[in-house]
Structures are given as C-alpha cells and as structure tokens.
Chains A and B, each alone.
Chain A
C-alpha cells in the first residue's frame, strides 16, 4: 500500500468554525508533513513530524494546530481561520525526515467563508 489518504476531500468553513483535516498512511513511514498550496503556486511546507514529534514548524499561525496521534495518523486542527487561508492542504509522508521520496495525498480543498 503506497497510498496516503486525506479526508475530507473538500471543506467549507466559516471563520468562527472549528474543523479538522485528517491524513493516514500505512507504509510504515516515520515522517509526515503538512503543506499548503495556493492556486498556481508551489506547495509551502507548514509542519513536519518525525517519529511522532513535531520537528519543523514553519512559523505557521496558531490558528493551525497539528497533531500526530500515532505513526500512521496526522491531523490538522483549524480554528478561527481567515479567507486567505483558503487553499489546497496536502499531507505527505516519507520513510524518514529527509527531503527525499515523499508520498503525497490528494489534498483537502479548503474554502473559508
């Protein structure tokens, strides 16, 4: 199984809502990533978890809160988002925390109204 799954596929939320994005992989990878991608732009790294510990936080606003319950799961909790946070949120995993072969999920298309 070389698949990274993400749910939901689409999400529309108001600025006062609380929601969560979920990501799962069963490849035994020990590093997991959250990226944000705006239209026609490259993905931007948000967070990296390595061996279930947060190893990189790219100065992401606190309205985004990552969580890694176990080595297969990665969540991104969203609260009080702004319309400019609307984007495609991508989850990825890799064997370890190096910039090497990352497997990406299909993403969650988030719209903040």
Chain B
C-alpha cells in the first residue's frame, strides 16, 4: 500500500502563507488530491491531480508536486481556513489518505 505522511499540525498567522506537505512512500505521479475538513463537517475537495483547483475553491489555495513530494499552499491564510487537511492518492489501489494536518492560528 502507498503510505502518505503528513505533519500532524501547523500554526500560522492570519494573512501569512502556509505550505502543507504530503510525502508518498512510492511515486504516485500526479495522482494526488487534497481535501479540507472543518470540525463536524464532511471533507471538501480542494485540489485534484496535484495542481488543479476544484470549481468554487478560492484561488488562495494551490497545489504542486509530482512523484513522492506534494504541497498544498494557502496564501493568504484566512480565519475560515482553520481545518484539517488531508492528501489522498489514486495512483493505485487501495486508495489511501494521509493522516491529516491540523491548521491552527498563532
């Protein structure tokens, strides 16, 4: 199985830029996707195929990477961005998710 590793938490100041990383245990090409999950809500797709912004998602969000190293960038961070962020690979079955990164405000 492809294991996805994320940092557990990040603290950032409002208005600043933050990058959330996801490392895959083997190459997933660009078959990496990012989700945001706010407390008590279902996940929401932000970025698909590494760098494509899902319709309706603010342009403050962007994604990059290929192979094993991927990043989700939020610039600038707003208070509404406080959430857990998950990466997910679809290069091979089983589909796997990272353990999530909790974004906190300093």
A and B are partners in one complex rather than unrelated chains:
no
